[in-house]
Amino acid sequence: MSSSRLPLRDPRTVARDIPGVLDILFPRLSGGMVQSLNKGLRRIEGISPVPEAMIEQSQLQKAMLFELASVRAELILREDGAPSWEECLALAVARQRRHFDAKIPTTLSTLDMAVAERACANLVNMLHELERHDRNSSVEIAPRIPGLGWIAPGNGDFSLGVHLIEVKHTNRNFVSGDFRQVLMYWLLKYAASVETNETVWSEVILLNPRRNCWLKVNFDFLLKSASANLNRVELSELLRSVVGQDADRR
């Protein structure tokens, strides 16, 4: 079957549900490498993690709970100082339905809103702190990720100048799947930049507002370490061969 007849998959889904594609490109992205990267975890002074006891008391699916927090943070960053919880829930539900088999809540409890508010405030404050150290740029919400072959265009979480920012509300350190996702985003951006001359991110920042921890990694270092020592051009061509080199970018 030609790649043009394959169903389109967004980049997030490819990275999460079809890891074999990334395993071809990044065979060295192992547990040992990820553990080494996590040694660079940092925390931002003045921000407290969301208490796990509060999180466990919420009856919402954790994915929905923290999607709610992310949506609220985005609305606040778009200068909506007090978005309604009804609006936040509607947007969170729409997003979850695209990517997950979501259990849709009909109402939010006071506790649900309190947890989401804490995670939202942490995310907003972390992004503002990153902005403070990069005075020449401002946070972009949902930066576009180009498509290629049967991989459809999508959107990342945030970007800040040369930094791609991915948010993970988990109770653990970052894992190989998180790095697969941002590497996929970078490669798709780079493949498009060859024709458009767009600027490509040079670093990735992984943020975890739930735990107040973050990690910054140089993409060239990550690409070389995770691949079989291939350069960015070679990796881009390998990606094209995997997803259909001759397919039209959508």
Angular region, 65: left φ>0, alpha ψ -120 to 50, beta rest: alpha
Instruction: Give the SS3 label for residue 133.
Output: coil
Tell me: the pLDDT tens digits for 74-111?
999 998 778 999 999 999 988 888 766 667 788 899 99
For residue 189, tell me if it sits in a domain.
Answer: yes
CA dist., res. 154 & res. 146, Å (int): 7
The distance in angstroms from the start CA to the end CA of the chain is 18
In a domain, 249, yes or no: no
Residue 1 lies in a domain: no
Specify if 248 maps to a domain: no
Enclosing domain of residue 175 = 8-243
Q: Residue 26 falls within a domain, yes or no?
A: yes
| Average pLDDT over all residues of the chain | 89
* Domain count across the chain: 1
Domain membership of residue 147 (yes or no) is yes
The verdict on residue 116 lying in a domain is yes
pLDDT at position 233 over 60: yes
Dig out the tokens for 38 from the structure.
Answer: 């996590």
State the average pLDDT over residues 49-58: 96
